[in-house]
Every structure is written in structure tokens, then in C-alpha cells.
Chain A
């Protein structure tokens, strides 16, 4: 799993989308990130560890290549704009709504 900077993550994510255009899926997963580096022991708790609650971990994969990045509240605005544009630009293979317009046209002719 490659942990990247936000900008690099976006570049790599674009590449993932482009690679998967002919076959395969792109999986994007995100959850909150505590900032923990050690596993939590069964008894007790990690000393000197304050769980952070202002970060989120974003992961992406095509089934083979894995990339990830951590986004904090400071970068979220800038990152989100770029990320939203990226998603909208790449997720363009879905069906456009044509049926309704066709029905309207046939009704108009009748």
C-alpha cells in the first residue's frame, strides 16, 4: 500500500481510472484515521497516544495496484474540489437519461 501526498494521490487515481476503462473496477474506500501507528493491545491502552479525529484515510485500488492518502481538516477544502472534479470527469460511462425525452417527443407528435 503506497501512502502518497494528496496531489500525487489524485494523479495516481486518475491513472487508475484510465487504466480500468476497458475492464475492471476502481474501488475507493474512506474511513476516519486515528493517526495510530501501533495496534491496540487487548488489555489496557497505548501510552501517550491521543486519537486524532480530524483526519480521514482515503484508499483506492483497481484490484492490483493500491494507493492511499491521509486528508486532514486543513487540506480538505482544496483536496475536495480537485477530487470532486476528478470523479465527475472520470465517471462518465453511465447511461444518460434518453427515454423520457423520447416519450415526450412521441407524445408531442400524437
Chain B
């Protein structure tokens, strides 16, 4: 399993979209006591992980999270949705 830490949340975007949607899972882990947030996107072959402790990243991560959710829920228009992104 290849795993790497992305320097910016925008960098995680294109590689995440290339993963096969049927087998992908997204994990979000939030620790308030330690003040950090971690988002992981994986299809059990490739694993993309992004950790942060900056408040400014919350909005980006939440936006990215929503995008992924919309992609998963979209029907055969999935490929069209990915192209527009």
C-alpha cells in the first residue's frame, strides 16, 4: 500500500478522483483534545492521507469531503461529474 502525506489539501484532490469509486472509502478522524484533523482516501491499493492542525484547513477538508460524497452518490453521470471537477 502506497501512502503519502500531501502538503496541501488541493494536492490531494486530483489523485483522489482517479481512484475507483466503487471500492473507495473515506475516513475522517477528528481529535478535539489534541487539536488535529486527518482525512484518508483509499481503495485498498493506494492510500492518500492528509493530516492537519490548522483551522483554515477545516473548510477545505469539509469541501473536499462533500465533493467525494456527491461523486459517490451520483449515478452513471459519475464520469461527467468527474470531468467537470
* Residues A93 and B32 in contact in the complex (CB < 8 Å), given A56-B72, A71-B69: yes
Tell me the minimal C-beta distance from B39 to chain A in angstroms.
9
Q: B7: which A residues are within 8 A, CB to CB? A: none
Q: Say yes or no for B11: interface residue by CB 8 A criterion.
A: no
Contact of A87 with B73 in the complex, beta carbons under 8 Å? no
Interface residues of B in 47-85 (CB under 8 A from A): 52-59, 62, 65-66, 68-70, 72-76, 78
Is residue A88 within 8 Å, beta carbon to beta carbon, of the partner chain? yes
The minimal Cβ–Cβ distance linking A73 to chain B, given in whole angstroms, is 5
Instruction: Find the A residue at minimum CB distance from B52.
Output: A94
Interface residue SS majority, chain A: mixed
A87 touches B35 (CB 8 A): no
Q: Which residue of A lies closest to B42 (CB)?
A: A31
Q: Is there a chain A Cβ closer than 8 Å to B26's Cβ?
A: yes
Is A8 among interface residues, defined by CB-CB distance under 8 A? no
Q: CB-CB < 8 A to B36: which residues of A?
A: 94
Q: Do residues B37 and A91 form an inter-chain contact, with CB atoms below 8 A?
A: yes
Asked if A97 is at the interface (CB within 8 A of a chain B CB), the reply is yes
Chain B nearest Cβ from A22, distance in angstroms: 6
A30 x B33 contact (CB < 8 A): no
Please determine whether B59 and A32 come into contact, CB atoms closer than 8 angstroms.
no
B residues engaging A (CB < 8 A)? 21-22, 24-33, 35-37, 52-59, 62, 65-66, 68-70, 72-76, 78
What are 9 residue pairs bridging A and B, where the CB atoms are less than 8 Å apart in the complex? A22-B33, A29-B27, A30-B68, A31-B72, A54-B75, A56-B72, A71-B69, A91-B58, A92-B58
